């Protein structure tokens, strides 16, 4: 099952992807996490990506596509994958089609205000990338990851000014991408306006689409 999750930053794709990944035993591939890891390690890709990411801009298509292509060729993707954060442009969607057949595209939707609140309260673990929200899903001990005891931090691109820029970039790039997948008849809308404490309502909608694929 090859799944693509679409939706603005902060809409809850990552949280839902982690749940679906466990449930369907296919890897959750987040290009944002992969790029942040590359930046943290100081790899050649990380060095090229950093300035775009810090400004809330997209990393050039060819760099991200090469990274995703390599990742999808790993043995753990043979049964399928959940792509979170890729494709982000219609050029990326066309590139993806050349090396993987997408079975379903889930388009997550939520109001702008809820998204900004979710992102600005988010904290991420430096070690394992687990995410928390200072108000809605805080860690047991402030600043420390429940899972691995890593340090929690606020991503530089999750400060208010940069969030607005990321949402602007998203709006600009998203329409052609949605049109592309609608034309391919792969698109399903997911109402992601629910609160994080009601995440199962979002997961249920995804399950309904994915179960149909299995039958």
The residues of the shown chain that bind ligand AMP, judged by CB under 6 A, are 9, 31-32, 35, 52-53, 56-59, 64, 85-86, 88, 92, 157, 166
- Pairing between strand 122-125 and 131-133? antiparallel
Residue 201 falls in the annotated catalytic set: no
Burial of 30 (0-12, 13-18, 19+ CB in 10 A): buried
CB of 85 vs ligand AMP, minimal distance in Å: 3
Residue 155 falls in the annotated catalytic set: yes
Place of tokens 């890897």: 27
**Which residue's CB is nearer to ligand AMP, number 131 or number 205?**
131
36, 50, 118, 122: the active-site residue: 122
CB of 54 vs ligand AMP, minimal distance in Å: 8
Say which residues have a Cβ less than 8 Å from residue 164's Cβ, sequence separation at least 6: 116
Q: Which residue is nearest to ligand AMP (CB)?
A: 32
Place of tokens 């050039």: 60
CB of 51 vs ligand AMP, minimal distance in Å: 10
13, 36, 118, 123: the active-site residue: 13
50, 88, 118, 123: the active-site residue: 88
Tokens standing for residue 199? 């995440």
Residue 166 falls in the annotated catalytic set: yes
CA-CA distance, 1 to 187, in Å (whole number)? Answer: 15
Residue 122 falls in the annotated catalytic set: yes
Positions annotated as catalytic residues are 13, 88, 122, 155, 166
């Amino acid at each position: 099952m090859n799944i693509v999750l679409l939706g603005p930053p902060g809409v809850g794709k990552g949280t839902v992807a982690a749940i679906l990944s466990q449930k369907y035993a296919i890897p959750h591939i987040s290009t944002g996490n992969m790029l942040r890891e590359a930046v943290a390690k100081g790899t050649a890709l990380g060095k090229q990506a950093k300035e775009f990411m810090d400004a809330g801009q997209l990393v050039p298509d060819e760099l991200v596509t090469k990274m995703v292509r390599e990742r999808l060729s790993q043995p753990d993707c043979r049964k399928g994958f959940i792509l979170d954060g890729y494709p982000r442009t219609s050029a990326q969607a066309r590139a993806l089609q050349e090396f993987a057949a997408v079975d379903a595209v889930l388009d997550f939707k939520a109001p702008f205000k809820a998204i900004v609140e979710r992102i600005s309260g988010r904290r991420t673990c430096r070690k394992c990338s687990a995410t928390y929200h200072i108000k809605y899903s805080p860690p047991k001990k402030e600043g420390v990851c429940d899972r691995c005891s890593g340090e929690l931090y606020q991503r530089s691109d999750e400060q208010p000014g940069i969030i607005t820029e990321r949402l602007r970039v998203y709006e600009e790039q998203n329409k052609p991408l949605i049109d592309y997948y609608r034309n391919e008849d792969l698109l399903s809308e997911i109402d992601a306006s629910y609160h994080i404490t009601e995440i199962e309502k979002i997961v249920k909608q995804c399950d309904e689409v994915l179960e149909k694929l299995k039958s």
